[in-house]
């Protein structure tokens, strides 16, 4: 259910989530490597078992695509005055967002009971496997996995604050950056909760509530906050910061809706997950929220969330979702948000190269659901 | 498994955990109330379901005894020069530790699969009950409870950072306070992990490893860090800060070991939990770690951690633990740590009233296992 990472890693993912490009993402890797070296040394001094948890978290962080750091760095680099530029601060800020992302991913996997992420066992999965190897029964092993995932996520969350604290800038900017991080955490936890609660409820949420969930869960910490924070650190005018934040908000919603469409209509090779996993989980999406308002809903309502959903039933649902207009509706919601995102980038204070980068990124997102 | 809260709330707990007394704990309540008012308003603006999570967290925080804030405030008030005193900062720092405590308690309950804390349903328990009322099966309801507990704990952890950030003091003290919080989180997560891992392992840990676990899990964030942070904010000499930190470390270990002894030998009315819950869980303690090194261990090893342990079997275990010297050993470990804690308080720079308060507190802890 976490969005960016549903795109496959590696070069093939370029058309789906193009890099803003030209950013010192390599330095982000170094900062993260240093963070883990320090953590592992301290953990090893505590107990060998603690070192293992740090290694598991490091592996989880290693799998990320660094999309959020790239947004932070793009905003910062294009907006900072050359004289004021202190790239190291932007790198720390960017790395902080990556740890925040990892915290949410690891905790989201615990909540979703996922044990695999990007094709390899995640933190919970590794601990679960180990417990099974040690002879634990399935329930005990799952519990060992969840406990490790919970604790690893806490480490990552704390790490995000820790890296942000190392950013050296004027006190008011610093406060602002911390406010942005706090707000991103506040929104994301709310979004995750809504995701859980809406999936649990037999009543389909309204399309508006689904959009609010998408915004909270994905958009704020993945798009809005990284752009806002990069711009704030760069000392950009408040109107530019606001324009980028608003653009990020709509880009994030577009991204989530596209991801939801691909979660139902996408192919395994593109999304990196089972074709009808979202349908089997009964994941609440704008797609289903719209379909639930249509008379055709009665033909599929009983199948949504069925743990034994077959390929044929999934195909039937897809046909109904297409025929009742849900697919078109979802794509139009995504297109509408993408358009608004582009509109906000028209602000005079947004430098053209930044506008071009963000436009290309958005284009890449939308191309995933546009007819070829 | 979380220590301080095993003592019952209310006036009857005074002999077990005496308040350092005379501190503006009331202001801590106000700061926490304000924190939740702000959070609930923002949550309600997001979605009614999010408000419910905030309310559940607020209830969890309301049940605390404010032991950590009291230590922060005791150290601060007795060490700050009158001219430098800015009690509001100490109150914020104290409240931050209470939220940190809540984060650990809520996450610990998820890990331990506990649904009740201090006699009332905890965050997980409330969400689980609600799901059951809504017709969910037991597994789904448990999962809904765990998910809510995980997210509520994240909110509390983030809240601890948020309140600490509001402390206004010299930059180097501020950095130091953040380091203390980070270190407390680092140690506590490690301690919690060790607790989980050791319980899972069929091999009984060495007594040394058990002490290390107790220190990480309990002592650092419950004793060492609050005393250290209060003293740092007060601007105390580094040797005084070190003495208080070391004293807190040993006091914390003593507290944990006493709690472990009471978890096996205590009565329901005193510990607030089932008499043989720890034995049934197979909780690793200094008591069991010592017993495992004795020949008598073979008579009880198969019973430890048995989910169907009977009262008679528990009584048998208690007798063996007493006869093989495990009980006396554990009490002597606690006494030894309590003595060291007192020794560190003899530092000239520790003001007598602070020494008296902390000594009384430690006395109260030890009285719980001393013969009457």
DSSP symbol at A6: G
- Locate tokens 């509390």: which residue? B156
Q: What is the pLDDT of residue A8?
A: 32
Residue that wins the pLDDT comparison between B103 and A203: B103
Residue B256 shares a structural domain with residue B149: no
CB contact under 8 A, B154 and A200: no
Assess if residue A157 is contained within a domain: yes
The distance from CA B150 to its chain's CA centroid, rounded to whole angstroms, is 18
Q: How far apart are CA A132 and CA A139, in angstroms?
A: 10
**Residue A3 confidence class, pLDDT cut points 50, 70, 90:** very low
What is the chain B residue with the closest CA to A175?
B165
CB contact under 8 A, A107 and B154: yes
CB contact under 8 A, B161 and A161: yes
Helix A138-165 / helix A48-62 crossing angle, nearest 10 deg: 70
**Residues 128 to 157 of A: which have CB under 8 A from any B CB?**
131, 134, 136, 140, 143-144, 146-148, 150-151, 153-155, 157
Domain boundary among B168, B186, B210: B168
**Residues 158 to 177 of B: which have CB under 8 A from any A CB?**
158, 161-162, 165, 175
Q: How far apart are CA A6 and CA A125, in angstroms?
A: 17
Any A CB within 8 A of B365 CB: no
Q: A29 to each of A35, A118, A135, how far by Cα in Å? A: 10, 19, 37
Residue B190 shares a structural domain with residue B332: yes
Q: How many CB pairs under 8 A join A and B?
A: 129
Q: Are A72 and A225 in contact (CB under 8 A)?
A: no
Q: Give the total number of structural domains in chain B.
A: 2
Residue A161 makes CB contacts below 8 A (sequence gap 6+) with: A96, A181, B161, B182
Q: What is the pLDDT of residue A21?
A: 41
Strand A120-121 and strand B116-117: pairing?
unpaired
Q: What is the pLDDT of residue B4?
A: 40
Q: What is the pLDDT of residue A211?
A: 87
Residue B47 shares a structural domain with residue B161: yes
Any A CB within 8 A of B356 CB: no
Min Cα separation A28/chain B (Å): 21
| pLDDT tens, position by position, B7-58 | 333 333 333 333 444 447 889 999 999 999 999 999 999 999 999 999 999 9
Residue B163 shares a structural domain with residue B177: no
Which of B39, B47, B210 is best to mutate for the A interface (most A CBs within 10 A)?
A: B47
Assess if residue B185 is contained within a domain: yes
Of A165, A29, A39, A91, whose CA–CA distance to B185 is shortest?
A39
- Locate tokens 């607790």: which residue? B195
Residue B325 shares a structural domain with residue B285: yes
User: Cβ of A137: how many Cβ atoms within 10 Å?
Assistant: 10
Of the candidates A49, A189, A216, the beta carbon closest to that of B155 is on A189
Residue A308 makes CB contacts below 8 A (sequence gap 6+) with: none
Residue B335 shares a structural domain with residue B253: yes
CB contact under 8 A, B157 and A158: yes
Tell me what the mean pLDDT of segment A290-318 comes to: 92
**Residue A306 confidence class, pLDDT cut points 50, 70, 90:** confident
Any B CB within 8 A of A305 CB: no
User: Cβ of B30: how many Cβ atoms within 10 Å?
Assistant: 12
H or E stretch including B337?
helix B326-345
Q: B225 to each of A349, B73, B98, B216, B250, how far by Cα in Å? A: 47, 12, 12, 11, 12
What is the chain B residue with the closest CA to A216?
B46
Tell me what the mean pLDDT of segment A300-321 comes to: 92
Strand A116-117 and strand A120-121: pairing?
antiparallel
Q: What is the pLDDT of residue A275?
A: 65
Residue B203 shares a structural domain with residue B322: yes
DSSP string, A77-90: HHHS-GGG--HHHH
Q: What is the pLDDT of residue B176?
A: 97
Which of A57, A171, A186, A225 is best to mutate for the B interface (most B CBs within 10 A)?
A: A186
Q: What is the pLDDT of residue A281?
A: 83
Residue B198 shares a structural domain with residue B158: no
Q: How far apart are CA A118 and CA B314, in angstroms?
A: 47
Any A CB within 8 A of B105 CB: no
Assess if residue B53 is contained within a domain: yes
Residue A131 makes CB contacts below 8 A (sequence gap 6+) with: A140, A141, A144, A145, B200
Residue B131 shares a structural domain with residue B229: no
User: Cβ of B146: how many Cβ atoms within 10 Å?
Assistant: 25
**Residues 266 to 285 of A: which have CB under 8 A from any B CB?**
none
**Residues 50 to 79 of A: which have CB under 8 A from any B CB?**
50, 53
CA-based Rg of chain B, rounded to a whole angstrom? 21
Residue that wins the pLDDT comparison between B336 and B19: B336
Assess if residue B6 is contained within a domain: no
CB contact under 8 A, A157 and B153: no
Among the ranges given (A257-261, B264-268, B327-331), the one the predictor scored with the smallest mean pLDDT: B264-268
Residue B182 shares a structural domain with residue B331: yes
Structure tokens given for B328: 């006396």
Assess if residue B278 is contained within a domain: yes
DSSP symbol at B203: S
Instruction: Kindly report the backbone phi and psi dihedral angles of residue A169, in degrees, each rounded to the nearest multiple of 5, phi listed first.
Output: -155, 180
Q: What is the pLDDT of residue A20?
A: 42
Question: Is pLDDT of B93 > 70?
Answer: yes
Q: What is the pLDDT of residue B19?
A: 41
Question: Is pLDDT of A186 > 50?
Answer: yes
What is the chain A residue with the closest CA to B189?
A151
| pLDDT tens, position by position, B56-74 | 999 999 988 899 999 999 9
ipTM of the shown complex: 0.91
Question: Is pLDDT of A2 > 80?
Answer: no
| pLDDT tens, position by position, B216-275 | 999 999 999 999 999 999 999 999 999 999 999 999 999 999 999 998 998 765 555 556
Q: What is the pLDDT of residue A200?
A: 82
Q: What is the pLDDT of residue A268?
A: 63
**Structural domain harbouring B44:** 21-168
CB contact under 8 A, B216 and A131: no
| pLDDT tens, position by position, A316-355 | 999 999 999 999 999 999 999 999 999 999 999 999 999 9
Tell me what the mean pLDDT of segment A23-44 comes to: 92
Min Cα separation B92/chain A (Å): 17
Among the ranges given (A19-23, A164-168, B84-88), the one the predictor scored with the smallest mean pLDDT: A19-23
Question: Is pLDDT of B287 > 80?
Answer: yes
H or E stretch including B53?
helix B48-62
Any B CB within 8 A of A210 CB: no
Q: What is the pLDDT of residue A15?
A: 33
Q: Which residues pair with B116 in a beta bridge?
A: B121
Min Cα separation A92/chain B (Å): 17
Contacts of A146 in chain B (CB under 8 A): 111, 146
Dihedral angle over CA of B160, B163, B168, B174, nearest 10: 10
Of the candidates B134, B151, B190, the beta carbon closest to that of A189 is on B151
Residue B68 shares a structural domain with residue B215: no
Q: What is the pLDDT of residue B305?
A: 87
Residue B327 makes CB contacts below 8 A (sequence gap 6+) with: B261, B265, B287, B321
Assess if residue A165 is contained within a domain: yes
User: Cβ of A282: how many Cβ atoms within 10 Å?
Assistant: 19
Q: The dihedral of CA B329, B332, B338, B342: what is its sign? A: negative
Assess if residue A372 is contained within a domain: no
**Residue B250: which CATH number?**
1.10.600.10
Among the ranges given (A51-55, A215-219, B190-194), the one the predictor scored with the smallest mean pLDDT: A215-219
DSSP symbol at A285: -
Contacts of A148 in chain B (CB under 8 A): 193, 196
**Residue A372 confidence class, pLDDT cut points 50, 70, 90:** low
**Residue A24 confidence class, pLDDT cut points 50, 70, 90:** confident
CB contact under 8 A, B216 and A150: no
Average per-residue pLDDT for chain B: 89
Q: How far apart are CA B59 and CA B63, in angstroms?
A: 7
Average per-residue pLDDT for chain A: 89
Domain boundary among B136, B168, B200: B168
Assess if residue A166 is contained within a domain: yes
CB contact under 8 A, B148 and A194: no
Q: What is the pLDDT of residue A53?
A: 98
| pLDDT tens, position by position, A46-61 | 999 999 999 999 999 9
Q: How far apart are CA A116 and CA A110, in angstroms?
A: 11
Tell me what the mean pLDDT of segment A281-294 comes to: 91
CB contact under 8 A, B155 and A216: no
Residue A260 makes CB contacts below 8 A (sequence gap 6+) with: A214, A278, A283, A285, A286, A287, A330
Residue B156 shares a structural domain with residue B198: no
Cite the DSSP H helix spans in chain A: 25-46, 48-62, 67-79, 87-112, 123-133, 138-165, 171-200, 207-214, 225-233, 238-265, 268-271, 277-281, 286-291, 311-323, 326-345, 352-367
Any A CB within 8 A of B320 CB: no
Among the ranges given (A7-11, A127-131, A167-171, B187-191), the one the predictor scored with the smallest mean pLDDT: A7-11
User: Cβ of B235: how many Cβ atoms within 10 Å?
Assistant: 15
């Amino acid at each position: 259910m976490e969005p960016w990472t549903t795109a496959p890693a590696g070069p093939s993912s370029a058309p789906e989530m193009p890099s803003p490009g030209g950013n010192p993402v390599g330095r982000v890797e170094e900062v993260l490597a240093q963070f883990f070296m320090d953590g592992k040394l301290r953990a090893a001094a505590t107990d060998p078992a603690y070192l293992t948890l740090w290694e598991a978290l490091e592996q989880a962080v290693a799998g990320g695509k660094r999309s959020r750091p790239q947004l932070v760095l793009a905003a910062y680099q294009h907006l900072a005055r050359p004289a004021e530029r202190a790239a190291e601060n932007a790198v720390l800020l960017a790395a902080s967002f990556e740890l925040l992302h990892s915290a949410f991913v690891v905790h989201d996997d615990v909540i979703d009971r996922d044990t695999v992420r990007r094709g390899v066992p995640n933190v919970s999965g590794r601990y679960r496997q180990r417990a099974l190897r040690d002879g634990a029964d399935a329930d005990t092993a799952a519990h060992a996995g969840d406990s490790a995932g919970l604790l690893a996520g806490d480490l990552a969350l704390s790490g995000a604050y820790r890296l942000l604290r190392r950013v050296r800038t004027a006190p008011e900017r610093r406060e602002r950056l911390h406010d942005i991080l706090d707000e991103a955490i506040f929104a994301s936890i709310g979004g995750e909760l809504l995701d859980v609660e809406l999936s649990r409820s037999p009543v389909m949420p309204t399309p508006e509530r689904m959009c609010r969930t998408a915004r909270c869960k994905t958009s704020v910490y993945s798009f809005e906050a990284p752009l806002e924070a990069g711009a704030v650190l760069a000392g950009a005018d408040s109107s530019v910061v606001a324009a980028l934040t608003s653009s990020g908000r709509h880009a994030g919603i577009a991204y989530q809706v596209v991801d939801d469409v691909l979660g139902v209509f996408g192919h395994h090779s593109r999304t990196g997950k089972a074709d009808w996993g979202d349908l089997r989980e009964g994941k609440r999406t704008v797609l289903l929220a719209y379909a639930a308002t249509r008379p055709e809903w009665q033909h599929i309502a009983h199948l949504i969330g069925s743990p034994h959903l077959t390929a044929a039933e999934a195909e039937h649902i897809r046909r109904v979702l297409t025929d009742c207009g849900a697919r078109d509706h979802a794509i139009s919601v995504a297109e509408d948000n993408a358009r608004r995102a582009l509109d906000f980038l028209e602000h005079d204070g947004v430098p053209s190269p930044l506008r071009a980068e963000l436009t290309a990124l958005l284009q890449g997102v939308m191309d995933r659901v546009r007819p070829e």
